[in-house]
Structure 1
Amino acid sequence: MRRRTGEDRILSLPNVVTTIRLVLIPLFVYLLVQPHHRDWFAAAVLLAALGSTDWVDGQLARRLDQVTTLGKVLDPTADRLLLATATIGILAVGAVPVPVAVIALAREGLVAAAAVGLALAGARRIDVTMVGKAGAFGLMVAFPLFLAGHSTVGWHRGALVLAWVAAVIGLTLGWLSIIVYVPLAKAAVAEGRAGKAAAGLDESSRQIHSE
């Protein structure tokens, strides 16, 4: 088999980092569901580590020149899966305010539906924007702090205050990114359709010359 190189490669250090983040999500859920809140602080620490390493794979990919097609899909998938799992899990155990969870999940649901719609419309893939990444990071700071705020640590009151600050910033940036994506989505649809039309003309031209 031909060895995959460049953006076509599968195995790369950034993709390994992203995969490790995905694999550790079930461990977070396990710690979260332990009785008597005994492992909530450990769950908060793990969630904070997973959230704070969000930028690591992207930085590695750019600095090591290991940007791959798989990584462009895997990285945002890991981010959304971690955010959704954290939101639903922490909401289920009652450690995050319902309005925060509902607004965060509504945004993720809208993004997922938009991604499907754009794919069906033949749009090219849209790269994640810095505003969207910042919004996700804000929530990934807020959720561990909400957990810590409901744990037995001595600074739990301060953790709750910081959690609310991070949540407001994260939700604001997250929904602002929706507005930023609108012109990008329109351009992606136009470019995707133009690319398909050009490919169709090339195919027709080849068929004519082959006859």
Structure 2
Amino acid sequence: MTGVQGDRSGQVEQHRVLPVTDRLWTVPNLLSMIRLLLVPVFVWALLERQLGWAALVLVVAGASDFADGKIARRYGLTSRLGQVLDPIADRLYIAATVVGLAAVDVIGWWLVAVLFARETFIVLLYPVVRRYRLPIPEVTFIGKAATFNLLGGFPLLLLGQVDGWWTVVSLACGWALVWWGTVLYWITGLAHGWQVADMVRQRRRAGVVGG
């Protein structure tokens, strides 16, 4: 019985530790690139008041964001480029989305300020990360959930601007997802700050001085 438990424990541990490759052309990386290319398409649709198309682009972006992580973990396609490209694509998409939605009065500029304040907090950590040569923290499940909620809530807010039987339901569900995504977004930001502070303390205890 002990041997079986040991085998299962080893399998679980092996499943959790995913190899990181230097491959550039992987399906997850391609999905992240497509998400980046869709940013100007979304902006164009929004400025032209094609709210249905803009909402569809956001749905595709949210689906690709969910799919790239699943594929990377399922088929061992986690790459160093993906670890950098995926969060960049997420942040750029969220930035373009919130600014665009605020510009057409779908959301208030106060929400833009709340989300951008979180990004400013993360940016302020970069000099410390670079000084102590700290590793880039991996994208967490909570972080992906935050992005997924935001990219799921924004198209519903767009659909809520179109008159129909779905208007009230879309707005209610959209704002619920956006609020929950915003809370999770800040939780991941604060957790990132705590991780950086903890790594700095470990480096200092080890006698490593930032250069």
Pairwise same-fold verdict (TM > 0.5): yes
CA drift of 1:192 comes to: 6.8
Unaligned runs of 5+ in 2: 1-19
Amino acid at match of 1:23: L
Matches within 5 A, 1:118-157: 118-157=129-168
Change (3 A) 1:92 1:190: same
Equivalent position to 2:43, from 13, 29, 40:
29
- 1:46 maps onto 2:57 in alignment: yes
Amino acid at match of 2:106: A
Paired residue secondary structure (2:61) = helix
In 2: Cα distance, 1:17 partner to 1:74 partner: 10
In 1: Cα distance, 2:110 partner to 2:34 partner: 31
Question: Alignment length, in residue pairs?
Answer: 191
Amino acid at match of 1:81: L
Give yes or no for contact 1:121–1:189 (8 Å, CA) kept in 2. yes
Amino acid at match of 1:51: G
Compute the RMSD of aligned alpha carbons: 2.5
Change (3 A) 1:163 1:114: same
- 1:7 maps onto 2:24 in alignment: no
Give yes or no for contact 2:122–2:193 (8 Å, CA) kept in 1. no
TM-score where L is the length of structure 1: 0.80
TM-score where L is the length of structure 2: 0.80
Change (3 A) 1:177 1:70: same
The answer to which of 98-107 and 163-172 deviates more is 98-107
The answer to which of 63-72 and 143-152 deviates more is 143-152
The answer to which of 139-148 and 104-113 deviates more is 104-113
Matches within 5 A, 1:59-74: 59-74=70-85
CA drift of 1:109 comes to: 2.4
In 2: Cα distance, 1:193 partner to 1:13 partner: 39
The answer to which of 124-133 and 86-95 deviates more is 124-133
Change (3 A) 1:192 1:85: farther
- 1:164 maps onto 2:164 in alignment: no
In 2: Cα distance, 1:13 partner to 1:195 partner: 39
In 2: Cα distance, 1:190 partner to 1:11 partner: 37
Unaligned runs of 5+ in 1: 1-5, 198-211
Give yes or no for contact 1:40–1:147 (8 Å, CA) kept in 2. yes
Deviations 1:118-161 (A, max 9, x none): 22442221112222222222211221111111124441222111
Amino acid at match of 1:163: G
In 2: Cα distance, 1:63 partner to 1:139 partner: 24
CA drift of 1:75 comes to: 0.6
In 2: Cα distance, 1:74 partner to 1:196 partner: 32
In 1: Cα distance, 2:54 partner to 2:36 partner: 15
Change (3 A) 1:43 1:193: farther
CA drift of 1:74 comes to: 0.4
Partner of 2:114: 103
In 1: Cα distance, 2:207 partner to 2:54 partner: 47
Paired residue secondary structure (2:21) = helix
Change (3 A) 1:15 1:195: farther
